[in-house]
Amino acid sequence: MKLQHFNIYKKLLRLDSRIILISELCESVDDEIFIDSIAQKVISKYGCDIHTTDDLILRDKLLIEDLKSTDNYLIFLASNRSEQDINDSYWDSELELEDLIFLGWTINSSSDGEGDDAATDGIFPVIFNDLLADETQMLKIIDEGSLNEWGLIKDELICNKYLETNKSEVKHFIVKKDGTHQELITDWYALGVYCDKYTYDKLRALKITQQYNNLTHHSSGTPNGAP
């Protein structure tokens, strides 16, 4: 696999004791001062101006060191898609996929240049429905056994099964001006999710804190039999 892009997040979504590392459900950085501070070490995957820290290519791996003591999380995504070859020359040549820590698998789609996560627009062990009014109900795990601790698919075999299910069962349509529906050509593909060693330490610390908070919350509840 080859690196596709990376994202810098300032806030991660959580469900009970599990962190959910799904791109569309995490909050990237949109602070102009922060973006200006990293501008010399990143470029947009699409070659446009950077307004949020999504879809970036790392030109200088020293940025990983620069951000190691901040509250930011660097999440890298890699794929086997051949069209990623055009981005190879922009990545810092000293950054190897083997330098990063593998976290799990996710699935994305591409429809006319627009990418979507299977969790929000397809079939995935976690589903997200932003039409629900109650935020606590928007996120739901429907296949616990296929997930790992980061809310990602835990192995490649399971990922491939979900990938084939999305390819065969999920269709995207647009409404044309005459009111008829046209099916979009959708390319579903697997993505390996990685992070640097400092982000991994932050994720572990965040998970431990979340587990402690859950334990404290449960232990402070009303005892059985109390009025």
pLDDT, tens only, 34-45: 999 999 999 998
Determine the pLDDT at residue 160: 97
Beta bridge partners of 110: 115, 187
The answer to whether 92 and 61 are in contact (CB under 8 A) is: yes
How does DSSP classify residue 82? G
Of 107, 78, 110, 74, give the one whose Cα is nearest residue 192: 78
pTM of the predicted structure, to 2 decimals: 0.86
Give the CA dihedral 127, 129, 132, 134, nearest 10 degrees: 50
Beta bridge partners of 131: none
Q: Quick: pLDDT tens for 152-191.
A: 999 999 999 999 999 999 887 778 788 787 777 788 999 9
Of 186, 47, 53, 173, give the one whose Cα is nearest residue 108: 186
CA distances from 169 to 47, 143, 163 (A): 33, 17, 10
